[in-house]
Amino acid sequence: MSGFPILDLVVGVIFIFFLLSIICSSIVEMILTARRIRAEVLEKWLVTIFDTEVINAKNKKVLLGQEIMDHCALTALSPKHKAPTYIDAKNFVSAALDKITAYSKVVNPKSMDEIIQSLESTTALSDELKRAFLSYANEAKDTFEALSVKTMGAIEMFKERVENWYDSNMQRISGTMKVKYTRRFTFISAVVITLLLNADTVEISKYLYNNPDARAKIVAKAYETSTDETMKEDMNRIRQRATASDDTMKLTIDQLNDSLKAKMDAINQANAALKESIPLGWTKSEFTVQRDVPDWVAFVITKLVGMAVTVIAIMMGAPFWFDVLNKISNLRGSGNKPPEGEKKQG
């Protein structure tokens, strides 16, 4: 404890928000994984950007985006005719160029000039994409020829530019997914968690203020958690998952099962910490107590306000509250050292 009841109360409430946010983020990640939302968004991007119809090896009309999706370099971790959850930039460029050049006069280009000829003659790209890819190719060729010391080939330079184009698109896709899906699922999960647990910020604050022992216990747990290296790693993973653009998105079936199990463990641990710290849940006394009409109105309004605050707090995310706990912990541990003469007296 800090010796300041109000500060301890604030730390306790923040820690409750942190635990509830962990439960919420784990549930949202499980929903996104189960529904393959990332794969769905990536697939929509592929067939929207690469929307030119081509005749595949089975003599069927398909979109180029579907052909890229079905390339052997990308199908190892996804169902047939479905996009994987994550595509590495290098793998994407290899698959895309292989499919694009397959529908050109130069099917297997070996040099930069042949790549340019292949891009110019391909029927698989829209005019807009063709101009973009040709600009990257010509830029790479001119840059390579201008170099006095050539540490990278022209083809590698071209592929690097296409990879950068792909990565910038993936960042926009991550933003779209966050706005369209993650925030919506987070809000719904926050509301459900708050209602099921009766997580009323007003009542939680009252309980902690009126119970010094419980307050001291939860504050000690909060400060302990803020310095936990494992928890710091978990918060970094949550931040990375929010961007959906790193290698953690490449999951095999076994890794997926382990990931879901880890999320369930996180939910159980957070729930256990909550039950250990404060009484949550609905009780009959809240509804059976005798109240006049004005008191009932005040009760309902206070309950709605308390729950609304909890939902908003959960929406801020576990990493946010973890950072707040760290800052408070650092401030608590900081301070000027006493002068040498005051260290020992008498």
**Residue 339 covered by a domain:** no
> For residue 317, what are the domain limits?
5-36+175-332
For residues 184 and 123, membership in a common domain is answered with no
pLDDT of residue 248: 38
For residues 25 and 95, membership in a common domain is answered with no
Report yes or no: 123 and 103 within 8 Å, Cβ to Cβ.
yes
pLDDT of residue 64: 92
**Residue 270 covered by a domain:** yes
For residues 208 and 290, membership in a common domain is answered with yes
User: How many independent structural domains does the chain possess?
Assistant: 2
For residues 53 and 11, membership in a common domain is answered with no
Question: How do the pLDDT tens digits run along the chain, 346 residues long?
Answer: 555 778 888 988 998 899 899 889 888 888 887 788 888 888 899 999 999 999 887 888 999 999 998 888 777 656 666 777 778 899 999 999 999 999 999 988 999 999 999 999 999 999 999 999 999 999 999 998 888 777 788 999 999 999 999 999 988 888 878 888 888 999 999 999 999 988 999 998 998 888 888 888 888 888 888 887 887 887 877 776 655 444 334 444 444 445 556 666 666 666 666 666 677 788 777 767 767 778 888 888 999 999 999 999 999 988 899 999 888 887 765 544 445 544 444 4
pLDDT of residue 259: 54
For residues 207 and 187, membership in a common domain is answered with yes
pTM value surpassing 0.85: no
Domain boundary among 113, 137, 167: 167
For residues 135 and 192, membership in a common domain is answered with no
For residues 187 and 323, membership in a common domain is answered with yes
Q: Three-state secondary structure along the chain?
A: CCCCHHHHHHHHHHHHHHHHHHHHHHHHHHHHHHCCHHHHHHHHHHHHHCCCEEECCCCCEEEHHHHHHCCCCCCCCCCCCCCCCCCCHHHHHHHHHHHHHHCCCCCCCCCHHHHHHHHHHCCCCCHHHHHHHHHHHHHHHHHHHHCCCCCCCHHHHHHHHHHHHHHHHHHHHHHHHHHHHHHHHHHHHHHHHHHHHCCCHHHHHHHHHHCHHHHHHHHHHHHHHHCCHHHHHHHHHHHHHHHCCCHHHCCCHHHHHHHHHHHHHHHHHHHHHHHHHCCCCCCCHHHHCCCCHHHHHHHHHHHHHHHHHHHHHHHCCHHHHHHHHHHHHHHHHCCCCCCHHHHCCC
Domain boundary among 112, 139, 167: 167
pLDDT of residue 337: 47
**Residue 345 covered by a domain:** no
For residues 224 and 95, membership in a common domain is answered with no
pLDDT of residue 328: 86
For residues 326 and 191, membership in a common domain is answered with yes
- Considering just the CA atoms, what is the radius of gyration of the chain in Å? 28
For residues 16 and 151, membership in a common domain is answered with no
Give the sign of the dihedral formed by CA 115, CA 120, CA 124, CA 128: positive
pLDDT of residue 277: 66
For residues 32 and 42, membership in a common domain is answered with no
For residues 46 and 32, membership in a common domain is answered with no
pLDDT of residue 125: 93
**Residue 297 covered by a domain:** yes
**Residue 341 covered by a domain:** no
pLDDT of residue 235: 80
**Residue 160 covered by a domain:** yes
Domain boundary among 114, 149, 167: 167
